[in-house]
Structure 1
Amino acid sequence: MYKNLTIATSIAPFNLSVQKQAISSWLNCGFRVVSINSIEEIKILQTEFSNVEFVETKSNAANKYGKPYIYFDNFLDYFSSADSKICGIVNSDIHFINFSDQLFQFIIGQSNQSIVYGSRIDIDSIVNLHGDVYELGLDFFFFDKDIIPLYPKNEFCIGLPWWDYWAVLAPILKGITAKRLITPFAYHIKHSINWNKDYWYSLGITLSQFINTHTIKNDEDLGEFGYSVLDFIEKSSSYINLSDRVKTKRILFVYDNKGIQSSESKTYESIVNQTYPNKSIVFGNNQDNFHDQVEYDYISYIQEGSILHPNYAEIMLSFNNDPDIIFCNFKVNKTRTSIFYLSSSVSEEGEVSRHYNSNMVYKRGVFLRDGIIRGEKKGSKACFVGHSLVHTNYTSYIENLLQGKKNIFIYGCGGHTKQLIELVDFSSFDLKGIIDSNPSGNYFEGYPVYAANEINNLVVGCILISSFSFESEIYEQLIKVINKGKIIRIYNNT
């Protein structure tokens, strides 16, 4: 076993306090840290980071991209001559929190002849670790030194688009085992991100040439290509977890089939194919009284249209502190190139926001009613898995949001609502009309249109906000005139 597992990064000559804290967290786990920089940057940084070894690179991308970005190949060149069997590349503002006594040995064991990678969890501060996994990017990589020769020469740079995809994609294409580490330990304090669209496009074209499966003619084509690469990486990877919890807890899946034959349901198939051994399945819904089933420790209500990751139960039940409610993110596929991610949260009073049933697991005796955790453990401890372990299509997502609702109105007479009406069959819902702040006609897509200042004259059961860019603004306007419990947000933008 090699004692020296090295993480290489490239420290930026600004926001030093955040990077110091992040790198200290790596050192506390036992990693050796190297920063690869230009000589100009090293002169600025060296005295500030006395516990980091700096390596000067003779080449950088300053002439090509305007800043001294370090080429991915520079990292590989360094590791080729270094004495570390396991090599790590981590963005310099990623904090390793929790599992500090396990991480080093775990990485060494899992990275042998493999690549281990994962995504950060974006948070507002180190004090509050509740946040969302940045699903569209990858932030840490650990790999066996033996796979370095498998990387073709390339122009990707740390800090510019697409290098993170390349870091995992290249070894996968050569048959190397890829493992996604999903344990929540890598955290990132949110900040504004400025990226150059031209670099995104040109480097995306470069990545596509290594695969040669897509014809890229415009931004939309490139966006679709990016989603397909992520999907390929995901399907080519196994999930690994730092938790060593024994799989003794029993879970009951309550499947709401909504009249669909189980033999024809991908939802049911995804439940049956769970890797977790101690599971049972019954037909029902979250209105049925299953929360007092004494033979089970946990219950998960799964609605038709939701697809579970094969490791859903295994990951959700991996917490050692026996939480009373566990929830994960979920992914909504709108079109081939339009995907969004949603996350739930739980207040100290036990109020759950943005819940979708299928992304939650309840301890026996605990249940959700009207958005509040009820039962003998009301206000109990909740645990959060930042990864999207459940996905659904846009139509199923909207239908579940509106299930059982009466006197429905949609807010917004624009292209978003037009697409919404095209994708969802509203003939089976009690849709009364469309509300808009500046209506230009009496009807929209066959439904009557009402001015926003008429809301108090309408019998409103709920209002579905049909806007991405202005969702929060519309929400703030609506809560001034109607109860917030009647407002449904599709994206939950904040």
Structure 2
Amino acid sequence: MNSEKEVLPEFELLPEFTQLKVDKDGFDQFGKRYVALGDMIECVLQNYDGPIAITNSDIALDLTEAARSQIDSLNPGSCIVCNRIDIETPDFDQGVRYSAGFDFFVFHTSDLKKLSANGMYFGTPWWDYFLPVNLLNQGIRRLPSEGIVAYHLTHADRWKRRLWRKLGLQFASDMRALGTAGDRAFLSDLDKALKRKRKSKHKLLSRIVPEAFRRTDFYAVADLSVAYIDRAQESGQR
């Protein structure tokens, strides 16, 4: 999935892959042509019906036959959400599970239609929380992910703190917009995580730090999201 303004000649060498394109991107915000999550899902829904796997292009998947069968037969109302395994070299040895985020998802198109309006962008911070948290909030059941390994070659973090905070606020705003359609307990915990909003006497600080939340407030929201997704697998429900 790419912006139509992004030229990727590599696809000519990969005839087994189909490239989907959208006409808008986030270049003005990020300096790169990231695709809005909502536009990506809309494009998918226009072209496919059934189970849909979503992952970043820097993920190498190792799937057992049982896992492939589980993905192919995924029913509406269920999903698969997986952490990645970080590796230092391409030999796939001595990997470490990355527990603070998620990199492989399978949802049925019937459930993707429920994803609420949002300001997330695929490949930027917080989208990998928003997608599962939003749909789990609406009652989708998370299935075990045995037999699925998502390898990721480690690299330096590249996101500036200000952008990470800005998108974190967008995440919170988009989740709160669910209102009564969401999980009341999660939304209450989200409000509590951000209740420590402080007013700054310095106008410059207020512009640099979105709404003057502390960095630890955003960490609390991230931890809340990860815990919510993890509990969904343990309980088999939201």
TM-score normalized by structure 1? 0.39
- The one-letter code matched in structure 1 to 2:40 is F
Deviation at 1:169, TM superposition (A): 0.4
8 A contact 1:90–1:140 mirrored in 2: yes
Structure 2 counterpart of 1:42, one-letter code? V
Q: Distance in 1 between matches of 2:23 and 2:3?
A: 7
Q: Are 1:233 and 2:207 matched, yes or no?
A: no
Q: Which SS does the other structure have where 2:20 is aligned?
A: strand
From 77, 95, 104, the equivalent of 1:131 is 95
Q: Per-residue CA shift, 1:365-416, capped at 9, x if unaligned?
A: xxxxxxxxxxxxxxxxxxxxxxxxxxxxxxxxxxxxxxxxxxxxxxxxxxxx
- The equivalent of 2:37 in structure 1 is 72
SS at match of 2:106: strand
Whose strand proportion is higher, 1 or 2? 1
Does structure 1 retain, via aligned residues, the 8 Å contact 2:5–2:23?
A: no
- Say which of 54, 71, 94 aligns to 2:59: 94
Q: Which whole-Å CA distance do the structure 2 matches of 1:158 and 1:222 have between them?
A: 19
Aligned to 2:206: none
Instruction: Write the mapping of 1:336-375 to structure 2, written as runs, cut at 5 A.
Output: none
Q: How does 1:278-289 map to 2 (within 5 A)?
A: none
Counterpart in the other structure of 1:193: 157
| 1:63 and 2:59 correspond | no
Q: Secondary structure at the match of 1:143?
A: strand
Q: Between the two structures, name the one with larger relative contact order (CA 8 Å, sep ≥ 6).
A: 2
Residue in structure 2 matched with residue 388 of structure 1 by the alignment: none
Q: 1:55 and 1:128 mapped to 2: Cα distance?
A: 29
Q: Secondary structure at the match of 1:54?
A: coil
d(CA) in 2 for partners of 1:152, 1:194: 28
**CA distance, structure 1, for counterparts of residue 227 and residue 124 of structure 2:** 21
Relative distance call for 1:98 and 1:46 in structure 2 (3 A) is closer
1:179 is matched with 143
Say if 1:52 and 1:231 are closer, same or farther in 2 by CA, change over 3 A: same
Aligned residue pairs, count? 204
Question: When you count helix as a share of all residues, which structure comes out higher?
Answer: 2
Counterpart mapping for 1:244-323 below 5 A: none
Cα RMSD, aligned residues only: 2.1
**In 1, Cα distance between equivalents of 2:66 and 2:148:** 13
Do the aligned partners of 1:121 and 1:184 also contact (CA within 8 Å) in 2? no
Which residue identity does 1:109 align to in structure 2? S
Q: Do residues 223 (structure 1) and 187 (structure 2) align?
A: no
Larger-Rg structure: 1
CA distance 1:115–1:128, shift in 2 (3 Å):
closer
Verify the 8 A CA contact 1:118 1:182 in the aligned structure 2.
Answer: no
Q: For 1:138 and 1:53, locate their aligned partners in 2 and report how far apart those are by CA, in whole Å.
A: 24
User: 1:452 — aligned with what?
Assistant: none
- Contact 1:37–1:56 (CA<8 Å) still a contact in 2? yes
Alpha-carbon deviation of 1:96? 1.5
Fraction of identical pairs, as percent: 21
Post-superposition Cα deviations, 1:89-138, rounded to whole Å, max 9, x if no partner, equal 11111112251x33321213345421211011011234243211111110
Segments of 4+ moved more than 6 angstroms:
none
Q: 1:83 and 1:55 mapped to 2: Cα distance?
A: 11
Paired residue type of 2:10? L
- C-alpha distance in structure 2 between counterparts of 1:46 and 1:120, whole Å: 25
- In 2, distance between residues paired with 1:98 and 1:68? 30
Counterpart code for 2:226: L
- 1:63 to partner: Cα distance: 1.1
Provide the secondary structure at the position in 2 that maps to 1:185: strand
2:18 corresponding residue in structure 1: 53
**Native 8 Å contact 2:90 2:153 kept in 1:** yes
The TM-score with structure 2 as length reference comes to 0.78
Aligned equivalent of 1:105: 69
Distance in 2, matches of 1:60 and 1:128, equals 33
CA distance in 1, matches of 2:232, 2:63: 27
* 8 A contact 1:179–1:238 mirrored in 2: no
User: What's the counterpart of residue 179 of structure 2?
Assistant: none
Distance 2:63 2:48 in 1: 27
Paired residue type of 1:235:
R
> Which structure 1 segments of 5+ residues have no match?
1-35, 241-494
Deviation at residue 231 of structure 1 after TM alignment: 1.0
Amino acid in structure 1 at the alignment position of 2:44:
F
